[in-house]
C-alpha cells in the first residue's frame, strides 16, 4: 500500500462499515480487489482497523472512565465486563486456531457475496419476528446472554457475515432490546478488534519495515473519523428503525458482487 488516495478510500470503507451490520472485512476485500491493492488482511488493514477501535474508545470514553471508577463498588458493572470477557473468548479462540486457514480459503469476493446474501436473508427473517426484550440496559446483560452473543460472533470469522450483524442478532435472540444489543456489540468490539489488532501487529511486525508511513496515517485517520460518525449515526438509527434496510442492502450488494466476480 503506497497510494494515499487508495489509503483514504479503504480507510473510508473500514470506518463506515465496521460497526454497521454489513461486514467491513467483506467490503475491504472487494474494495481492495477493485483498486488492485494486494494487501487485504495485511499491514494496512491492521492499522485502519485500529482507527475503528480508537473510535469506540473515544465515543464511550466518559462511560468507560465512569465504569472504571465504579468497578469496585458496583456489581452490575463488574457483571457487564465479565460478560464482555465471556463474549470475547469464543471468537478469540477460533480465530487464533483457524485464522490462517480462513484467510487462505475464504478471503474472496465470491465468499463475501454469498455471505452477504445469506446474512441479509437471515437479518430480514429475524426482523420479521417479534422477540420479547427482557434486557434494556447494558448492566443488565447476564453472563449467559453475553456468552451466547460471543458464540454468535464466531460466525463473523467468515468474511461477509459481519461481526456487528452476528453479535447484534445474537443479542436480539437472547432477549436484549435493539439499542442494548447494538451498544453491547460496540463494547465487545473493544477487546475483539483491539486484541486481534495487537496480535496481528505482533505477528506481522516485520512487514512494517518496508511500509510507507503517510498512507498508513491517512488510512488510520480516515477510518477513525468515519467510524466515530458511524457509531453515533447507528445508535440514533436503531432507536427508531429496525435492520431491514441493511438486509436489503446486503442482498443487493451481495448479488452485484457475485455477478461481478463470476463475470470478470
Sign of the dihedral defined by the CA atoms of residues 123, 124, 126, 131, in that order? positive
SS3 9: helix
Whole-model pTM: value is 0.91
> Which pLDDT band holds residue 54 (cuts at 50, 70, 90)?
very high
Cβ-contact 223, 14 below 8 angstroms: yes
pLDDT the model gives residue 41: 47
Cβ-contact 42, 206 below 8 angstroms: no
User: In this model, does residue 180 exceed pLDDT 70?
Assistant: yes
> Which pLDDT band holds residue 204 (cuts at 50, 70, 90)?
low
Q: At what angle do helices 178-203 and 163-173 cross, to 10 degrees?
A: 140
C-alpha distance across the termini of the chain, in Å: 24
Cell of 51: 482507527
The pLDDT tens digits of the residues spanning 222-234 come to: 999 999 999 999 9
**In sequence order, which ranges of the chain are alpha helices (DSSP H)?**
4-17, 24-35, 43-59, 61-70, 75-106, 109-127, 143-153, 163-173, 178-203, 213-238, 244-263
Between 247 and 216, residue with greater pLDDT: 247
The pLDDT tens digits of the residues spanning 142-178 come to: 999 999 999 999 999 999 999 999 999 999 999 999 8
Question: Which residues lie below 8 Å from residue 83, measured CB to CB, with a gap of 6+?
Answer: 141, 142, 143, 145, 146, 147, 184
> Which pLDDT band holds residue 44 (cuts at 50, 70, 90)?
confident
**pLDDT, averaged across the chain:** 90
Amino acid at each position: 500500500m503506497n497510494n494515499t488516495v487508495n489509503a483514504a478510500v479503504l480507510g473510508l470503507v473500514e470506518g463506515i462499515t465496521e460497526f454497521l451490520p454489513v461486514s467491513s472485512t467483506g467490503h475491504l476485500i472487494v474494495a481492495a480487489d477493485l483498486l488492485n491493492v494486494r494487501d487485504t488482511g495485511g499491514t494496512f488493514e491492521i492499522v485502519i482497523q485500529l482507527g475503528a477501535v480508537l473510535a469506540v474508545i473515544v465515543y464511550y470514553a466518559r462511560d468507560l472512565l465512569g465504569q472504571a471508577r465504579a468497578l469496585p463498588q458496583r456489581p452490575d458493572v463488574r457483571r457487564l465486563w465479565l460478560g464482555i470477557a465471556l463474549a470475547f473468548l469464543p471468537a478469540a479462540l477460533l480465530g487464533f486456531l483457524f485464522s490462517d486457514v480462513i484467510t487462505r480459503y475464504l478471503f474472496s469476493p465470491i465468499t463475501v457475496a454469498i455471505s452477504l446474501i445469506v446474512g441479509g436473508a437471515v437479518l430480514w427473517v429475524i426482523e420479521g419476528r417479534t422477540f420479547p426484550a427482557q434486557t434494556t440496559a447494558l448492566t443488565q446483560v447476564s453472563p449467559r446472554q453475553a456468552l451466547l452473543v460471543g458464540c454468535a460472533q464466531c460466525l463473523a470469522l467468515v468474511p461477509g457475515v459481519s461481526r456487528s450483524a452476528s453479535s447484534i442478532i445474537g443479542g436480539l435472540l437472547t432477549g436484549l432490546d435493539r439499542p442494548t444489543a447494538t451498544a453491547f456489540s460496540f463494547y465487545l468490539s473493544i477487546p475483539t478488534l483491539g486484541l486481534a489488532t495487537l496480535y496481528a501487529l505482533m505477528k506481522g511486525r516485520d512487514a512494517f519495515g518496508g511500509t510507507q508511513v503517510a498512507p498508513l496515517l491517512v488510512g488510520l485517520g480516515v477510518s477513525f473519523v468515519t467510524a466515530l460518525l458511524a457509531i453515533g449515526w447507528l445508535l440514533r438509527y436503531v432507536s427508531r428503525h429496525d435492520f431491514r434496510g441493511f438486509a436489503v442492502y446486503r442482498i443487493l450488494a451481495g448479488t452485484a458482487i457475485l455477478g461481478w466476480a463470476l463475470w470478470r
